[in-house]
Amino acid sequence: MGRKHGPWTLKSSERLYADEFAEVWVDEVSKPGAEPSRRVTMRMKPGVAVLALDGEGFAHLVRTFRYAVGKECVEVVQGGVEEGEESSEAARRELKEELGAEASELIDLGLVDAVTSQVYSPAQIFLARGLSFGETERESTEDLQTVKVEFEEAVQMVLDGRVTQGISCTLILKASRLLAGESGGR
């Protein structure tokens, strides 16, 4: 018969590829009123994203070339959650690795599913404040440049398309709402 998956019945599932970050699966499925079909999905390692905001109102972002979209992107700090690691621990680790920063305050702003139609890629998002900076601990494969902008400029970068990565956009805009609420909407 098969296993139910929402309105679908999963007849078979085959992993086509796997590495330390992702798996690609092809599923044979059926659904009432529709022809049997295949669904291809990618399952990414769960991740974290962190918006670093200093006491002077500056957002600390990173710029890096993203192969999939073929261009340099400005983003918040991001990375995978390691086996047995809490999301908050991963957020602090990524903040230190990519920006050389430690935060006295880490505010959990929830979970974001980046691309729900074909990709399982959950990311817990955080706002980091009370920053102190030291040396970065970037991995040898990371080619990042730090981008420091006033927070309102970071919001404008989302609105005018200079920041396009979905998790970064969501985090910056959620942080903007949170901070507006803290300041009484000013």
pLDDT tens digits for 26-51? 999 999 888 999 999 999 999 999 99
pTM: 0.92
% of the chain at pLDDT higher than 90:
87
Please say whether the beta carbons of 131 and 103 come within 8 A: yes
- Do 88 and 126 lie in one domain? The reply is yes
- Do 32 and 61 lie in one domain? The reply is no
Confidence of residue 173 (pLDDT cuts 50, 70, 90): very high
- Do 101 and 140 lie in one domain? The reply is yes
- Do 99 and 171 lie in one domain? The reply is yes
Please say whether the beta carbons of 88 and 108 come within 8 A: yes
Please say whether the beta carbons of 108 and 174 come within 8 A: no
SS3 category, 52: strand
Measured between alpha carbons, how far is 101 from 133 in angstroms, rounded to an integer? 4
Domain that holds residue 15: 3-44
Whether 167 has a pLDDT exceeding 60, the answer reads: yes
- Do 61 and 40 lie in one domain? The reply is no
Q: And the tokens for 134?
A: 């030291």
- Do 60 and 127 lie in one domain? The reply is yes
- Do 57 and 132 lie in one domain? The reply is yes
Measured between alpha carbons, how far is 185 from 95 in angstroms, rounded to an integer? 28
Measured between alpha carbons, how far is 179 from 24 in angstroms, rounded to an integer? 38
- Do 30 and 64 lie in one domain? The reply is no
Q: How many domains does the chain have?
A: 2
Nearest to 38, CA basis, from 13, 65, 2 = 13
Whether 185 has a pLDDT exceeding 70, the answer reads: no
